[in-house]
Amino acid sequence: MTDKTVLITGANKSIGYETARQLGGQGFRIWLGSRDADRGQAAAASLAAEGIAVRALTLDVTSDESVRCAVARVEREDGKLDILINNAGISGLQPILPSEQPLHDIKAIYETNVFAPIRVTQAFLPLLKATIDASVIMVSSGLGSLGWLSDPSNQFHGVNILGYNSSKTALNAVTVAFAKELAGSGITVNAADPGYTATDFNGHSGYRTVEQAAAGIVWLATRTARDMTGGFYFEQNEVPW
Ligand SMILES: NC(=O)c1ccc[n+]([C@@H]2O[C@H](COP(=O)([O-])OP(=O)(O)OC[C@H]3O[C@@H](n4cnc5c(N)ncnc54)[C@H](OP(=O)(O)O)[C@@H]3O)[C@@H](O)[C@H]2O)c1
């Protein structure tokens, strides 16, 4: 067991839950973020039954008040945070043509996938600065890669979903911005693409398992090289923005 702590948002199920399970298995102390307290408690109980040191943390990433309460609790109980994984995300209406996607749907996607990771990262920065070699991971998507989406030979070229794809492209830009500001402060900031993974997110149509998806996130979250910041990774390889 290490004294290192990890907060994963949206960890009551799917990729976030499995990321908590794998990091907990490595001895990290887990803050299991969940917007619904009961779902968070149930998920935490099931990880605790595996011997993982886990605390459920009620955290709706779209709510200033919820984030404020979560920060206050982590500060009260630990006084620091070593790793923040911004995993919570939504897909919005899919499939739908860019010309037909309602603006209110796109705005809702951006609230969760773009503005929320900014909110959560800003709010937890003082606790990340209170430790050494802290790390922030943005769980992005290959569908946010302009390099891949503009390459006709890429598997994602035909997946033209305006709201979701552009939200993850924006999240990648957010990653670069935080990485630049925090370079030299001991906090690295990187984006991870979990790959197309079978979860509720896509009606379990993905071809990757949550174990595979989480493994790449865990690998990235546990790098300690301070110069490894401002990158976008799939599994253990850097991929194009
Ligand atoms: N699955 C894929 O193929 C795939 C591919 C690339 C990237 N990703 C990214 O990977 C991440 C996880 O995806 P997933 O497949 O595990 O999705 P999922 O099965 O839909 O799970 C999403 C998680 O996010 C939580 N969440 C949603 N809105 C929230 C909010 N406002 N506050 C707090 N938590 C919230 C959900 O909580 P509730 O249970 O309360 O709804 C759930 O725990 C997302 O960022 C997604 O964009 C997924």
pLDDT of residue 1 exceeding 80: no
Average pLDDT score over residue span 22-36: 98
Give the pLDDT mean for 6-15.
Answer: 98
Residue at token pair 């253990």: 236
Pull the structure tokens for residue 182: 């925090």
| Residues β-bridged to residue 237 | 234
Average pLDDT over residues 153-182: 98
Global model pTM greater than 0.85: yes
Contact 146, 168 (CB under 8 A): no
The residue extents of the domains of the chain are: 5-238
Residue 122: pLDDT band (50, 70, 90) is very high
Left (φ > 0), alpha (ψ -120 to 50) or beta: where does 137 sit? beta
C-beta 196 within 6 A of ligand 1: yes
Inform me whether the pLDDT recorded for 27 exceeds 70.
yes
DSSP string, 132-199: SSEEEEEE--GGG-HHHHT-TTSTTTT---HHHHHHHHHHHHHHHHHHHHHTTTTEEEEEEE--SB-S
Percent of residues in the chain assigned helix, strand, coil, to nearest 5: 45, 15, 40
In testing the pocket of ligand 1, which one of 65, 201, 202, 208 has its CB within 8 Å of the most ligand atoms? 201
How far is CA 178 from each of CA 17, 121, 143, 218, rounded to the nearest angstrom?
Answer: 25, 9, 21, 20
**Does 159 score more than 70 pLDDT?**
yes
What would the mean pLDDT of 180-201 be, rounded to a whole number?
A: 97
Looking at residue 224, what is its pLDDT?
A: 87
Domain 5-238 has CATH 3.40.50.720: yes
In contact, 217 and 23? CB cutoff 8 Å: no
Q: Where are the beta strands (DSSP E) in the chain?
A: 5-8, 29-34, 54-58, 83-86, 134-139, 187-193, 232-234, 237-238
The answer, yes or no, to whether residue 186 has pLDDT greater than 70, is yes
Confidence of residue 78 (pLDDT cuts 50, 70, 90): very high
Segment 101-106 long-range contacts (CB within 8 Å, at least 24 positions apart)? 101/161, 101/162, 101/163, 105/163, 106/162, 106/163, 106/166, 106/167
Q: Which residue has the higher pLDDT, 239 or 224?
A: 239
Helices then strands, counting H and E runs in the chain, come out as 8, 8
pLDDT (0 to 100) of residue 75: 98
Supply the mean pLDDT for the chain: 97
Ligand 1 neighbourhood includes 164 CB (under 6 angstroms): no
The rounded Å distance from CA 184 to ligand 1 centre is 31
In the chain the first and final C-alpha atoms are separated, in Å, by 36
Q: Which residues pair with 189 in a beta bridge?
A: 136
Residue 77: pLDDT over 70: yes
- Pocket mutation for ligand 1, best pick of 199, 204, 220 (most atoms within 8 Å of C-beta): 199
Predicted local confidence at residue 219, as pLDDT? 98
Given this model, what pLDDT does residue 2 score? 82
Mutating to test ligand 1, I would choose from 87, 175, 220 the residue with most ligand atoms within 8 A of its C-beta, which is 87
